[in-house]
Structure 1
Amino acid sequence: MGKYQGYDKYKDSGVEWLGAIPNHWEVIPIKFSLSMPITDGPHETPDLLDDGIPFISAEAIKNDQINFDKKRGYISLEEHKRFSKKYKPKYGDVYMVKSGATTGNVARVQTHEEFNIWSPLAALRPNQEKTTTDFLFYVIKSKPFFYSVEQSWSFGTQQNIGMGIIANIRITFPPLEEQEKIARFLDYKTKQIDELIAKKETLIEKLDEKRTSLITHAVTKGLDVNVPMKDSGIEWLGDIPKHWEVKRLRYTGFCQNGISKGADYFGFGYPFVNYTDVYANPELPKIVNGLANSTDEDRINYSVQTGDIFFTRTSETIEEIGITSTCLQSIDNATFSGFLIRVRPFANLIFPGFSKYYFRCQLHRFFFVKEMNLVTRASLSQELLKKLPVLLPPLQEQQKIAEYLDYKTKQIEEQKTKIKQAIDLLKEYRTALITNAVTGKIDVRKIPIPKI
């Protein structure tokens, strides 16, 4: 690792993915460094309350920490006591996600407050006479350990690794004093790296804010700063160029809900635009992954053509309703989901490139949040959607706005790409540093470490 030196003498670890280790280190199954067998939370779904004992699961284990803001909810004191008979969280425990998309994520328990965990989390309690919480945490964060986890994944409905498998994964085991020094070194160095990453992530957030502001201004105020303005008559739109029109969406195009069928209708046949295609993309992908066994009549009634605007129609939250994607190129023989509403603009009224920015604009959230009725799920009706105000610059001006935004947003995306690449390199360096320290490829014993 560049400026860092290795140990004087090494030996074969006997484990292919660990390679050589310092002569005085051992390799042991992780279970022999723990004070109790690896366990997990209850395999039942508790009654979640608005108050009580925090109850966390896999989604709370992120960025090497337990984020209690991401808790599932609260459980009663009685359930907490019952669950705690199997496992009660303790300061210094280490959690590893053992099932789901985030399998392998790790965090340390750094609170004395009462809480409890669910079954996707494996709890490891280090034997403090043999190992430290911090060293164990970094071992589990290392590349060889994650490789071992990856090799042992089983796949059912989701990826999963058994606690017995975790217990028998072999880890490097230096003397206790050396473990403490390695952990202090890694705390210091990873803090520096994380601060650099945080600064770069802040830059990305600022670029996203700049992009949002740029789009909102262009699609509601135009590009000419000297153009005469008028009151739009809509509070959240404010003043707009005097020569622009405001029409309710019902007067700009036809609305159509998508196909709602049973499961046997999907998975084969012709292209099918689903909720995710729209939610994740301001511009509808030219090739979609979904398939539906649509009829000739379906493909006429629920077609996907250039200029069509698709709105997300139903979700758990208002924030995910009314998100749009514009079709810039017809998808032959395609149909679309019942979780979507298609708006097909009248001819020569809305330029598709303008639609891509206008209808995705965050300003419309004011309308949807104010007007939406939330029952058990948020749902956008055609009648409500038809009331959405639509700003209509002359068609030629729409095209100029679209070209301007394409150019400016491309510049912003290029800046973001460079920053993301720098973040990825920092993360790779962080992982490599952890791996090299806990496997003995570098000797940190004599490196001075300031107090942090």
Structure 2
Amino acid sequence: MTANGYPWLGKVPTSWKMGRLGTMCSILTDGTHQTPTYVDAGIPFLSIKDVSSGYIDFSDAKMIPLEEHTELRRHAPVQRGDILFTRIGTLGKFVTVDTDVEFSIFVSLGLLRLKNNVPVTKDYLMYYLNSSAVQSYIQSIKAGFGTAAPKYNLSDAAHTPVLIPPKETQEAITRHLDVICQPIDMCSKDIKRQVDALEQYRRSVIHEAVTKGLNPDAPMKDSGIPWIGEIPAGWDVVKGKYMFSQRSSRGNTHLELLSPTQKYGVIPQSLYEERTGAKTVKLKEDTDLQEFKTVHVGDYVISLRSFQGGFEYSDYEGVVSPVYQVFYPISNGPRGYYRYLFKTQPFIDEMNSYAMSLRDGKNIAFADFGRTRIPVPPLDEQHAIADYLDMKCADADKLIDAKREQLRTLAEYKKSLIYEYVTGKREVPA
């Protein structure tokens, strides 16, 4: 064993060589930088979420028209046997394209194709790239990137060092890892199914409560709203503009800067960094905060991506960028009910219908929401529904978090196990 000049690899066998990923790949590109048109039926358009499980998952992929796919394919012509890798935000997950289904990729994914007659097998290379050693190397690149979305750039991928054992050693390592990793993968897939089931249960509980109430025996009536269907007979239906008003106050430069997020709502930037470990985009020192919009506790924010995740609720006083739209409930009644309603998928789909013809951000205007009819339960029912959902969602989130921690533990164990073999620190048993 000898030190090789790459601390993240440690000592490696003296007979093993080093190469660069870029010299072994005939294609090294990324997906489209433009947001395409999404349709109900079309060609799959993959992003990070569709490969984050370690394999390509089409079940929740967005769809784009065939003509747009044809154009995008000229830039990134994906084919069976290629390798995709995540390169923005979530970094350095590598998956093999093991399907003949045509699809296009977003800019958050990179594409590479192994050349012929290179000194590594693809199976060994995939294990190597997904080892804790390479993950450590990629994280060292990320550490110097000061934005909310760290990148593993194409040039970074091209310069990634590859440890190259003799071919027969590569094949032995691959056969052995196939055997010992299979139980880990099976366990991970089972836990992932449990997480999916819990998340579906959480969504169904929310949807049932905010559209049907808590009394299963309540008489029902047609709401006249296609995405709602029937509602309790004692509920009203009102356009959003009669329930909420847009907030336009500015100039509160003494308030802290807030970040609208799909997962945490509207929270301070410092809290976002603490919860996610990511760095937010810092304002320039000469930024004029006079134009930033004021947000009060209980306000809602329409972000540039509300068509993906609904409207965000704020538990904090602060300011947000002028590109966001802020609105608040006109009445002083319970606010938690709408906090849940505005995050349901049918509501998001309804808001998305206003943005379908827009490009470059797909912004939703408050006026679009203002003419949308929404259910209005009596205030006491709103309060009861919010309390019920607070309890049920807290229980579900606790279980989901525990399952995800199990997945993280298994993933780290697998990466460390792979590391031992692809760096020669542990020999394959005879």
Q: 360, 384, 393: which is aligned to 2:368?
A: 384
Change (3 A) 1:180 1:208: same
Q: 289, 303, 313: which is aligned to 1:294?
A: 289
1:243 aligns with 2:234: yes
Q: CA deviation at 1:108?
A: 4.5
Return the index of the structure with the highest Cα Rg: 1
1:309 aligns with 2:305: no
Q: List alignment gaps of at least 5 residues for structure 1.
A: 1-10, 260-264, 447-452
What CA distance in whole angstroms lies between the structure 1 residues aligned with 2:180 and 2:289? 57
SS of the counterpart of 1:29?
strand
Change (3 A) 1:30 1:215: same
Q: CA deviation at 1:14?
A: 4.9
CA deviation profile, 1:359-399 (whole Å, cap 9, x unmatched): 22223245335555614353433433222223222222211
What's 2:40 paired with? Answer: none
SS of the counterpart of 1:26?
coil
Greater shift, 356-365 or 118-127, is seen at 118-127
Map 1:27-426 → 2, pairs under 5 A: 27-30=16-19, 40-41=27-28, 73-74=69-70, 100-101=88-89, 104-108=92-96, 121=111, 124-125=114-115, 127=117, 130-151=119-140, 159=151, 169=161, 171=163, 173=165, 175-256=166-247, 270-273=255-258, 276-277=260-261, 279-281=262-264, 283-285=265-267, 293-295=288-290, 302-312=293-303, 314=304, 319-320=307-308, 323-329=310-316, 331=317, 334-348=318-332, 350-370=333-353, 374-376=357-359, 378-426=362-410
Q: CA deviation at 1:135?
A: 1.8
What's 2:413 paired with? Answer: 429
Q: CA deviation at 1:126?
A: 6.6
Tell whether the 8 Å contact from 2:82 to 2:111 is kept in structure 1 after alignment.
Answer: no
Tell whether the 8 Å contact from 1:62 to 1:106 is kept in structure 2 after alignment.
Answer: no
Tell whether the 8 Å contact from 1:48 to 1:73 is kept in structure 2 after alignment.
Answer: no
SS of the counterpart of 1:224?
coil
Change (3 A) 1:412 1:29: same
What CA distance in whole angstroms lies between the structure 1 residues aligned with 2:155 and 2:102? 24
Change (3 A) 1:156 1:241: closer
Q: List alignment gaps of at least 5 residues for structure 2.
A: 38-42, 273-281
Tell whether the 8 Å contact from 1:182 to 1:437 is kept in structure 2 after alignment.
Answer: yes
Q: CA deviation at 1:403?
A: 1.0
What CA distance in whole angstroms lies between the structure 2 residues aligned with 1:428 and 1:381? 43
Q: CA deviation at 1:431?
A: 0.3
SS of the counterpart of 2:221?
strand
Change (3 A) 1:221 1:137: closer
Q: CA deviation at 1:401?
A: 1.3
CA deviation profile, 1:176-212 (whole Å, cap 9, x unmatched): 3232121012223334322322221121111111111
CA deviation profile, 1:282-335 (whole Å, cap 9, x unmatched): x4325677766333xx67xx43223322233x55xx8438x1122334x0xx33
Change (3 A) 1:96 1:124: farther
What CA distance in whole angstroms lies between the structure 2 residues aligned with 1:217 and 1:370? 22
> Taking every aligned residue pair, what percent have the same amino acid on both sides?
24
TM-score norm. by structure 2 comes to 0.72
Which residue type is aligned with residue 217 of structure 2?
A: N
SS of the counterpart of 1:246?
strand
CA deviation profile, 1:69-103 (whole Å, cap 9, x unmatched): 799944599x78xx9xxxx9998676767x65455
Tell whether the 8 Å contact from 1:62 to 1:105 is kept in structure 2 after alignment.
Answer: yes
- Please provide the CA RMSD for this pair: 4.7
Tell whether the 8 Å contact from 1:258 to 1:337 is kept in structure 2 after alignment.
Answer: no
Which residue type is aligned with residue 136 of structure 1?
A: L
CA deviation profile, 1:102-136 (whole Å, cap 9, x unmatched): 554434566799999999656553746x5422223
Which residue type is aligned with residue 205 of structure 1?
A: D
